[in-house]
Amino acid sequence: MEQGGWQPWLLLLVGIQLASSQCPEQCQCVRSAQVECFGADITTVPSPIPANAMTLQIINTRIAELGDAAFGNASLLIGLRVEKNILSRISPGAFQNLPDLRYLSLASNKLQELPVQVFEPLDKLESLLLSSNQILQVEPSHFAHLSNLKELQLHGNNLKELQEGVFDQLTSLTKLNLARNNIDRLPPRAFERLARLQVLRLYENRLRHIPVGTFDGLPELQELGLHQNQLETLSPELFVHNTNLQKLYLSNNFLTTLPSGIFLPLHALAKITLHVNRLRDISPSAFGPMPNLQELWLYENELSTLPTAVFSNLTQLQLLVLSKNRLRSVAPGAFQGLGELLELSLHSNALRRLDARALEGMPKLQNISLHHNQLQALPRGLFKATPGLRHLQLHSNALEFLPAGIFSPLTALREVRLHNNSWRCDKGILPLQGWVEENPHKVGEIPPLCAQPPALQGIPIAGLTQDQFLDPQAPTAAPHPSTLLPADTSEAASDDASAAEDASMEPPTGLPASPQEDEEEKKEEEERGQWGLTRLQSGVVIAVIVLVCVALLAALVALVVYGCRKKSHVVLMRMKAPNEACRLVIYVLLGLGPLLVGALSPSCPPTCQCYDTSKVFCSNEKMRGIPEGLPGSATHLFFVGTDLGSIHSGDLGSSTTLTKLVFINNNIQELEPGAFQGLPSLTELEVSGNPLPAVSLGMLAGLTSLSKLSLSANTIRTLQPGLFTASCRLQDLSLSGNRIEALPPGIFRPLRRLQALDLSQNALAELPEGLLAPLVTLRVLKLSDNLLARVPPGAFRALGQLTELRLDGNRLEELPPGIFSGLGALRRLQLQHNALGSLAPDIFTGLLNLTVLSLEGNNLATVPAILFTGTPGLLHLSLARNQLETLPQELFANLSVLETLELSHNAIDHLPTGVFQGLAGLTELQLSHNNLSRLPAGLLAGLPLLTALLLDHNRLARLPPGLFDANDELVRVGLADNPWLCDCHLSYLLRWLQSFAEPLIHHQAFCANPAALQGQSLLEVSRGQLECPGAHRVPPEEGWDTDAPGQCTYTDPEGTVSVACNATACQQLSLRLPPPGQGQGPGAAYRRAWVLRSRCGTLQVSVLVTAQGGSDATSPALPAGPDNVPVFPFPFPPLLQSP
Q: What distance in Å separates the CA atoms of residue 171 and residue 534, rounded to the nearest whole number?
A: 19
| Burial annotation 678-705 (CB, 10 A radius, 16+ → b, else e) | bbeebbbbbbbbbebebbeebbbbbbee
pLDDT higher than 90, residue 925: yes
Helix crossing, 576-600 with 535-570: angle to 10°?
170
Q: Are 290 and 312 in contact (CB under 8 A)?
A: no
**For the ranges 996-1000, 1034-1038, 1041-1045, the one whose mean pLDDT is highest:** 996-1000
Sequence-separated (6 or more) residues with CB below 8 Å from residue 475: none
Q: Which domains does the chain have, with CATH numbers?
A: 22-134 (3.80.10.10), 159-172+179-290 (3.80.10.10), 836-1026 (3.80.10.10)
CA distance readout (Å), 601 to 65, 598, 632, 659, 1098? 47, 5, 10, 20, 82
Nearest 5°: the CA angle 5, 11, 17 is 145
Q: How far is CA 940 from CA 877, 960, 1013, in A?
A: 18, 11, 29
Which of 8 and 779 is assigned the larger pLDDT?
Answer: 779
Between β-strands 295-297 and 1135-1137, what pairing exists: parallel, antiparallel or unpaired?
Answer: unpaired
Condensed to tens digits (0 to 9), the pLDDT of residues 227-258 reads 999 999 998 889 988 989 999 999 999 999 98
Q: Is 367 helix (H, G, I), strand (E, B) or coil?
A: strand
* pLDDT at res. 942: 86
- At 527, the pLDDT band (50, 70, 90 cuts) reads very low
Query: Mean pLDDT in the chain?
Result: 80
Quote the distance between the C-alpha of residue 982 and its chain's center.
43
Q: Which residue from 965, 980, 988 is spatially nearest to 1094, judged by alpha carbons?
A: 965
Cα–Cα–Cα angle for 393, 396, 402, nearest 5°?
Answer: 70
- Distance, C-alpha 943 to centroid of its chain: 27
Q: Are 904 and 950 in contact (CB under 8 A)?
A: yes
Using pLDDT thresholds of 50, 70 and 90, give the confidence band for residue 562.
low
Write out pLDDT tens, residues 681-733. Answer: 999 999 998 999 999 888 898 898 999 999 998 999 999 999 998 888 999 99
When pLDDT is averaged across residues 765-785 and rounded to a whole number, the result is 94
pLDDT tens for each residue of 456-480: 999 999 888 877 775 544 443 333 3
Dihedral, 197, 202, 207, 210 alpha carbons, nearest 10? 20
**Position with higher pLDDT, 233 vs 619:** 233
The least confident of 490-494, 886-890, 967-971, 1111-1115 is: 490-494
Statement: residue 135 has pLDDT above 60: yes
Q: What's the pLDDT band for 30 if we cut at 50, 70, 90? A: confident
Question: Residue 485 pLDDT more than 70?
Answer: no
CB 658 within 8 A of CB 679: yes
Residue 90, H or E segment = strand 89-90
C-alpha span between 316 and 886 (Å, rounded): 52
Whether residue 1082 contacts residue 1109, with contact meaning beta carbons closer than 8 Å, is answered with yes
Confirm if 892 and 918 have CB atoms less than 8 A apart.
yes
Contact 652, 678 (CB under 8 A): yes
Residue 938: how many other CB atoms lie within 10 Å: 23
More confident residue, 1022 or 1101: 1022
Confidence of residue 481 (pLDDT cuts 50, 70, 90): very low
Q: Is the pLDDT of residue 582 over 50?
A: no
Please, which contacts does 496-499 make with residues 24 or more away whose CB atoms are closer than 8 Å?
496/228, 496/252, 496/276, 497/227, 497/228, 497/252, 498/252, 498/276, 499/275, 499/276, 499/299, 499/300, 499/324
Interval 19-28 mean pLDDT: 72
pLDDT tens, position by position, 1001-1020: 556 788 999 988 888 888 77
Phi–psi pair at 1089, nearest 5 degrees: -130, 150
Task: Please choose, from the candidates 311, 314, 309, the residue with its C-alpha nearest in 3D space to the C-alpha of residue 294.
Answer: 314
Q: CA 690 to CA 671: how far, in whole Å?
A: 11
Instruction: Compute the C-alpha angle 1094/1098/1104, nearest 5°.
Output: 105
Residue 450 has pLDDT above 90, yes or no: yes
